[in-house]
Amino acid sequence: MTQSEKPTKAFTLYLVAGILIVCNAVAVGVAATWFPWIFPTLPGSANNAAVPFASIAAIGLICGALVLFGAIMLHTRPVNKKVWGGIVIVFSIPSVITGGGFIIGFILGIIGGVKALKWKPEMQATKPATTTT
């Protein structure tokens, strides 16, 4: 497939969204590990436990990795655009738990998913067949 036959705008949005979601999840994990006083005290706990925030960071890393996977697969196999668009939309939504890639990643993932679902490959003009008699 040539570059014009691939959904490059959706791929770029996916890629940026996935990177932002992973970066946000890493920031939450680092903050939970080394700076737990940044987060407010959870209801029902005596102090800030790092375990719930580490779990939230793990969810963000998984969502970000799956968004990046969807981006790579969309670029390599654009025929299955509905599958990859659906995967990215589905895993962009729970990324909001960790901050959604500073919210921008969440928004770009949703926009990229919609672009992938609506994308249609360009039809290239072909020469009419000539017959010789």
pLDDT for 49 equals 67
- Please state which of the ranges 25-34, 83-92, 105-114, 123-132 shows the lowest mean pLDDT: 123-132
DSSP 124: P
Q: What is the pTM of this model?
A: 0.83
**Residue 122 — pLDDT band, cuts 50, 70, 90?**
confident
Query: By the 8 A CB rule, do 118 and 83 touch?
Result: no
Within 10 angstroms of residue 103's Cβ, the number of other Cβ atoms is 13
Over the chain, what is the mean pLDDT? Answer: 86
